[in-house]
Structure 1
Amino acid sequence: MNSIFLRLYGGLLLALCFIGAITYASVELVNHYRSDLYREAMARGTFYLMAEGYQRYEPAERERWSQVLSKLFNAEISLQNAQALELGYREELHLSDGLVVMRLNDSEGYADILFQLPGEDAYITTRMTKVSEQQARATAVLILNHLSHFPEEEWKPALARLQQHFGYSLSLVGRDSVSLDNEQEQRLNRREVVIALDDSTRRDSSIRIFAPVAQTGMLLMLGPLSLFDQFPIELLLIAGALSLIAVAFATYLQVSPLQRRLKQLDRAVSQLGSGDLGAYANIEGNDAIGQVAATFNGMTAHIRRLIESQREMTRAVSHELRTPVARLRFGLEMLADIESADMRREKLNAMDHDIEQLDQLIDEILTYARLEQGTPNIEFTPVVVAELCEQLREELETIRGDTSITVECASLGLDVEAEERYLHRVLQNLVTNALRYARSSIVMRVQESEGRVLIYVDDDGPGIPEHERERVFKPFARLDKSRHRASGGYGLGLSIVKRIVDWHGGEIRVEESPAGGARFTVELPRTQQEQHVLGRMG
């Protein structure tokens, strides 16, 4: 994915999915834990009263209390020891702390509830399948039974002491202070336990249980008992806050590398703006920023090359022009003193030759300068290399002298995507350069290797020393010491060849030829995959 948008969007989407999964699992885990606490808090007081009842009986008589409780709660309630229950370590800790332990069996839809008699190795056990009104009424009966063991004036203190074992409020209220419907009033008159549901909203739903207390006109009120809320607002707010923090962190992880790379690019641009042509953006990657950095690095390399080329050209041009201009000046001075018409004509011919050299030099300089301005709009078309080589051989037939030029190609139909006139210029420069040095033969060979076309130009001349092979592609480079260059040329031909090869995404190198001279190898891709905007460093 090279698009910054896709990287950011994809990264954030993955982060949100991950955060959503973690949040959901966390909420489920917390709700499961809260539901366990809720059930234990609702049951702890009831089982505390059961245990209190058991401890009022002698061990031999406790079975009777078990029967009473079983009938009261409509569930089998009994006493068992730890060995029969096979308690786990966590269960033992909870039970020894006076807590209720529930063994849930969701698949079967029941829960085994355990509670330890304080200070004894005996445990109340029962199996509940659902929470019913009968259990609520039974709890109220147990509380009233507990209060019956105290004088009336001690009921409130006794209820306050009992409160610490319950997860909901216990209180004594006047009957007149409670608002009930007619049916509920009638049930109270019959000394029945009444359950009142306050269902104002889902979140505020609660239950209150009322039980008449003897003939006092007082009511025992249990509650309000709030229904368990799977998604309390506090938990949702915390989960939302944590999710926002996680999204912010994920966004930072996505944006931070991009920001860091943009700062690197900004520093490189600032360096270039301050005149430092050695500025380089060391940014890797194939995304948009990496491509901009690569373009920037290519641009700075191109600017350095242009400036260096300009400096070299200025030095070389001044040197190259000095010799023919000096000869022309000297010739003009001598011309005034020559009286013989034949000698005057000979001197004029020499001056005309100097002017022709100047014209060739200026033409080469202008060509090289034009090529150094940047990559032209090249139109790549299939070019049959063997046919182009044969065409060039015929064009050079009149100037080759005694030197033979041959073409060898394994496949006559082998083509390459290139600009034909530029490829022709490459081969022309290489072959004419070889003509200056070859003793008797020049061979152009064309081969294909791994999707690339190889063009060899071999001669049987003196060759090029290994330490000079890189320098021959630089402008105005000369291997001989003579300023007149007996072999001809101005040292720009191979520089032009290298620039054109770079445009085509290829390579050029010089090696020793099998014939003993120099071998120039041009390697080009058969198909062009991309535009070579700034070329390569020379």
Structure 2
Amino acid sequence: MLALCFIGAITYASVQLVNQYRSDIYREEMARGTFYLMAEGYQRYKPEERGRWSQVLTQLFGAPISLQDSESLNLGYREALHLSEGLVVMRLNDAEGFADILFQLPDEDTFIVTRMTKVSEQQARATAVLILNHLSHFPEQEWEGALANLQQYFGYDLVMVDRDTVDLDAEQEQRLNRREVVIALDDSTRSDSSIRIYAPVAQTGKLLVIGPLSLFDQFPMELLLVAGVLSLLAVALATYLQVSPLQRRLKQLDRAVSRLGSGDLGAYANIEGSDAIGQVAATFNGMTAHIRRLIESQREMTRAVSHELRTPVARLRFGLEMLADIESAELRREKLNALDHDIEQLDQLIDEILTYARLEQGTPNIEFKPVQVMELCEQLRDELETIRGETTISVECDSPMLEVEAEERYLHRVLQNLVTNALRYAGSSIVMRIEDEDSRVVIHVDDNGPGIPEHERERVFKPFARLDKSRHRASGGYGLGLSIVKRIVDWHGGEIRVEESPEGGARFTVTLPATQQGQHVLGRVN
């Protein structure tokens, strides 16, 4: 719409500018021949007698006509140039409704000056009188040649015809008989309306025909066609400039979609921008990243599940084979308890796998509400009182009333997994520290255990990751807890990292936005 409005405004302004130029040319062409004849009349008089000719012209045209020099006219460069070339210069004053017309006498620094307030039949008749006066200085047989020489100064035709060849009405014939100048208007259509001036030439039986003088057509068909074609070309160019970048970006998106359709999960639409296509490309890239992560996760899970199930299943098979050979009731009861423990481990493993699989399906419908972080940490500390053993769990917070917008159930699961994981390796203490940092809430879980090597810190968030298999077996767990924590933190628009703890062990740091500003991107890349 902006482009169309701009093109429309430019087209209108251009037509107005062209019309103004055409109007100036039209007026100058209409007046040039008349003023040439005025100048010719002045040059027939001596300088001291030119005032008489000015009086004659003033009476003839019904407007004051005089001679002035260049100093009194204060000519501009363009005006002086046009006047020196024998052209008419018009100074229009639309506010007061008049026009000053200037014309330079050939080879003199003297100018004809007149002020016209309106154009009437009087000026047309006066022009005819001046032409006849010009012809009177030539023998009759030279009139045709004189008119031909005079034609170059006029923007319309000058011809001499026999009176019998002109078809006029009775009133016009009577006026010609009275030796009056007759003006006839031909108004057949808008496009070819014109005026002809008929002036009788003495007793010769001939008529001087001036014209046709075409009326100024502000919107001729040629101008409208040119303006229309140029406007259409401008619209086409503006459309192309707007559509071409969109088309290129759509082709990039189409190529990326085709690659994804052919099985290339690495397809990426490198399209920037915040418009509709940029948003579609961002969603597409998020979708492909989410698909890649899901497929990779499923592959890892398949491999890990087959590995994790092998050991308890093998123990169950071996235990069942031994159970058949045990005769003692007490030993049989012990073996059954061992088998029940293996089944319980299988149940826990399946529960973890199902939980992780459910979380990997995508972002759930999270209902964000203000949660007091310190209160939640203290609640968790009390819940773990029975299993902490000799390990102390403490909570530190500078702002006891600090809140974060989160799903309390999922945030509880994050802290529970982190503290439970720390209990497996902590020497004697675990500290939960809560900090407020630039509209974000930071939660540190520190322990004084052996810590995590720096090169292994990114891998701990992968599903079924094990850093020390022997210790893992001793401490329990299946390597899914931290993966679940990572996914929940991503849902909340936060981040989690592992560092060296001031307590000497590992520090898990969870950073969450204090307020949720909007939805998160699908398939956030880990």
The TM-score, its normalising length taken from structure 2, stands at: 0.91
Between the aligned partners of 1:399 and 1:86, the Cα distance in structure 2 is 107
Report the more deviating stretch, 136-145 or 306-315.
Answer: 306-315
Q: Conserved in 2, the CA contact under 8 Å of 1:76 and 1:127? A: yes
1:147 equivalent in alignment to 2:162 = no
1:94 equivalent in alignment to 2:82 = yes
Match in the other structure for 1:42: 30
Map residues 205-354 of structure 1 onto 2, 5 A cutoff: 205-335=193-323, 342-354=330-342
Report the more deviating stretch, 439-448 or 297-306.
Answer: 439-448
Match in the other structure for 2:463: 475
Match in the other structure for 1:370: 358
Match in the other structure for 1:6: none
Between the aligned partners of 1:492 and 1:478, the Cα distance in structure 2 is 10
Matched letter for residue 349 of structure 1: N
Between the aligned partners of 1:526 and 1:295, the Cα distance in structure 2 is 26
Report the more deviating stretch, 135-144 or 421-430.
Answer: 421-430
Match in the other structure for 2:348: 360
Gaps of 5+ in 1: 1-12
Q: Conserved in 1, the CA contact under 8 Å of 2:35 and 2:103? A: yes
1:452 equivalent in alignment to 2:440 = yes
3-state SS in 1 of match to 2:517? coil
Q: Conserved in 2, the CA contact under 8 Å of 1:503 and 1:535? A: no
CA RMSD, aligned part only? 2.6
Q: Conserved in 2, the CA contact under 8 Å of 1:381 and 1:417? A: yes
Map residues 49-128 of structure 1 onto 2, 5 A cutoff: 49-59=37-47, 61-82=49-70, 85-128=73-116
Matched letter for residue 25 of structure 1: A
Between the aligned partners of 1:51 and 1:117, the Cα distance in structure 2 is 5
1:162 equivalent in alignment to 2:150 = yes
3-state SS in 1 of match to 2:299? helix
Q: Residue 430 of structure 2 is aligned with which of 417, 432, 442? A: 442
Match in the other structure for 1:381: 369
Q: Conserved in 2, the CA contact under 8 Å of 1:192 and 1:211? A: yes
3-state SS in 2 of match to 1:130? coil
Map residues 409-424 of structure 1 onto 2, 5 A cutoff: 409-424=397-412
Q: Could you tell me the percent identity over the aligned residues? A: 85
3-state SS in 1 of match to 2:24? helix
Between the aligned partners of 1:90 and 1:440, the Cα distance in structure 2 is 99
Task: Give a deviation string over 1:16-73, Cα, whole Å, max 9, x none.
Answer: 2322322222222212211111111011111222233334445554444334333322
Task: Give a deviation string over 1:241-261, Cα, whole Å, max 9, x none.
Answer: 222222222222222222222
Between the aligned partners of 1:326 and 1:227, the Cα distance in structure 2 is 110
Between the aligned partners of 1:393 and 1:82, the Cα distance in structure 2 is 105
Between the aligned partners of 1:254 and 1:74, the Cα distance in structure 2 is 60
3-state SS in 1 of match to 2:203? coil
Match in the other structure for 1:523: 511
Report the more deviating stretch, 289-298 or 99-108.
Answer: 99-108
Q: Residue 451 of structure 2 is aligned with which of 442, 463, 468? A: 463
Between the aligned partners of 2:431 and 2:198, the Cα distance in structure 1 is 115
Task: Give a deviation string over 1:71-115, Cα, whole Å, max 9, x none.
Answer: 322344344555555544433433343322223344444333333
Between the aligned partners of 1:450 and 1:44, the Cα distance in structure 2 is 82
Q: Conserved in 1, the CA contact under 8 Å of 2:269 and 2:285? A: yes
Gaps of 5+ in 2: none
Between the aligned partners of 2:491 and 2:110, the Cα distance in structure 1 is 94
Q: Conserved in 2, the CA contact under 8 Å of 1:193 and 1:211? A: yes
Task: Give a deviation string over 1:369-412, Cα, whole Å, max 9, x none.
Answer: 22212222333333333333333223222111122223334444
Give, in angstroms, the shift of residue 432 of structure 1. Answer: 0.9
Between the aligned partners of 1:290 and 1:484, the Cα distance in structure 2 is 46
Match in the other structure for 1:405: 393
3-state SS in 1 of match to 2:227? helix
Match in the other structure for 1:430: 418
Task: Give a deviation string over 1:125-147, Cα, whole Å, max 9, x none.
Answer: 33333323222111101111122
Report the more deviating stretch, 499-508 or 185-194.
Answer: 185-194
Match in the other structure for 1:495: 483
Q: Conserved in 2, the CA contact under 8 Å of 1:502 and 1:535? A: no
Match in the other structure for 1:194: 182
Task: Give a deviation string over 1:498-518, Cα, whole Å, max 9, x none.
Answer: 111112222112222232222
Match in the other structure for 1:5: none
3-state SS in 2 of match to 1:228? coil
Matched letter for residue 124 of structure 2: A
Matched letter for residue 490 of structure 1: Y
Matched letter for residue 21 of structure 1: A
Between the aligned partners of 2:166 and 2:301, the Cα distance in structure 1 is 108
3-state SS in 1 of match to 2:422? helix
Between the aligned partners of 1:483 and 1:347, the Cα distance in structure 2 is 25
Between the aligned partners of 2:228 and 2:113, the Cα distance in structure 1 is 41
Between the aligned partners of 1:122 and 1:365, the Cα distance in structure 2 is 108
Match in the other structure for 1:130: 118
3-state SS in 1 of match to 2:475? coil
3-state SS in 2 of match to 1:482? helix
3-state SS in 1 of match to 2:161? strand
Between the aligned partners of 1:353 and 1:430, the Cα distance in structure 2 is 25
Matched letter for residue 376 of structure 1: P
Task: Give a deviation string over 1:276-298, Cα, whole Å, max 9, x none.
Answer: 11111112222222222111111
Q: Conserved in 2, the CA contact under 8 Å of 1:298 and 1:534? A: yes
Q: Conserved in 1, the CA contact under 8 Å of 2:161 and 2:206? A: yes
Task: Give a deviation string over 1:482-509, Cα, whole Å, max 9, x none.
Answer: 2762221111100011111112222112
Between the aligned partners of 1:349 and 1:17, the Cα distance in structure 2 is 85
Q: Conserved in 1, the CA contact under 8 Å of 2:199 and 2:208? A: yes
3-state SS in 2 of match to 1:486? helix
Task: Give a deviation string over 1:324-382, Cα, whole Å, max 9, x none.
Answer: 33333444454555565555544443333333222222222222122212222333333
Report the more deviating stretch, 156-165 or 471-480.
Answer: 156-165
The TM-score, its normalising length taken from structure 1, stands at: 0.89
Matched letter for residue 420 of structure 1: E
Task: Give a deviation string over 1:207-258, Cα, whole Å, max 9, x none.
Answer: 2222111122322221221222223232222222222222222222222222
Between the aligned partners of 1:20 and 1:366, the Cα distance in structure 2 is 65
Matched letter for residue 486 of structure 2: K
Q: Conserved in 1, the CA contact under 8 Å of 2:271 and 2:281? A: yes
Report the more deviating stretch, 91-100 or 369-378.
Answer: 91-100
Between the aligned partners of 1:258 and 1:154, the Cα distance in structure 2 is 74
Q: Conserved in 2, the CA contact under 8 Å of 1:375 and 1:533? A: no
Match in the other structure for 2:497: 509
